[in-house]
Structure 1
Amino acid sequence: MDLFRTPQVVLFTRDINRAVSFYRALGFDEAFRTPPAGTPIHVDLVLDGYRLGLATETSIREDHGLDPIADGQRAAVILWTDDAASGYERLIDLGATPIKTPEPWLDRLLIAWVEDPDGHLVQVVQAFR
């Protein structure tokens, strides 16, 4: 029996509705929300079997007694694609802040970087060899 299972990353946000809308527009489907009605404090989204959680900065502070940081480049959501340039442009169209246009890396990948509306890094990766 394994001790751990089903890993997930949770990003902290100051505007959960905006964050949920952004990631849903990328193709993530909602899998969990609490509370079920009204403005949520936590939402889990799933894309291709990967679960991404979004939690309000206020909830983390008030419910768990922690001191979260809800903006800045602390983590990166990685999105694989067959078209890094189109993925990069789609993210920008959805409100992401451009950081780096697609460029080759390791002679086999094309990588671009943006920040989501909360400042979390999103990397778009395309294998090209």
Structure 2
Amino acid sequence: MRLLVSGFPAVYRFYRDVLGLEPQFEAESGPYAKLSPDTGHAAIALQDRAQMGGVLGRLGAEPEGYRALVVLRVDDLAAAHAEITSRGAEFTRDPGPMGDRMRVAYLEDPEGNLIELQEWLALREQAGDAPA
């Protein structure tokens, strides 16, 4: 996933310092960076919107509302929520259930992209196999 951002340094610092993602290389001033959770299985790339507009010759006006939903899976949602809150983040929705298979919490990055932290609970099939 690559997010096109206008305020590159602030967004970069948010993903690195607040969410705790690990930069693959230091690039706080942009125009491009790639950051990963400690699992290393996925990455979020940030691209300066104006620079990309120059590459394409144009880039339409910034859309209103959410432009992206970044989903980060965590092992312990309560712990992740507490840690990220201690780094200054304000959640738009505190941890709560989403159906019977996961718990989620939501916050926004400095440009208004929606971030979902999700903790998967035991699957129904596994719950059915548990001893009585």
Q: Give the structure-2-normalised TM-score.
A: 0.73
Match for 2:102 among 109, 118, 122?
109
Larger radius of gyration: 2
Q: Counterpart in 2 of 1:81? A: 74
Match for 2:115 among 98, 115, 122?
122
Q: Counterpart in 2 of 1:42? A: 32
- Quick one: which amino acid aligns to residue 120 of structure 1? N
Deviations 1:79-101 (A, max 9, x none): 11122123234334444442111
Q: Counterpart in 2 of 1:51? A: 43
Q: Structure 1 residue 11 and structure 2 residue 27: aligned? A: no
| Structure 1 residues 15 and 93: CA distance shift in structure 2, 3 A | farther
- Alpha carbon RMSD of aligned pairs, Å? 2.5
**Distance of 1:62 and 1:90 partners within structure 2:** 38
Give me the identity figure in percent: 25
Contact residue 14 and residue 70 of structure 1 kept, 8 A? no
Between the two proteins, the alignment pairs up a number of residues equal to 118
Q: Give the structure-1-normalised TM-score.
A: 0.74
Contact residue 42 and residue 54 of structure 1 kept, 8 A? yes
Q: SS state of the match for residue 62, structure 1?
A: helix
Task: Report the structure, 1 or 2, having the larger helix content.
Answer: 2
Task: Report the structure, 1 or 2, having the larger strand content.
Answer: 1
Contact residue 105 and residue 111 of structure 1 kept, 8 A? yes
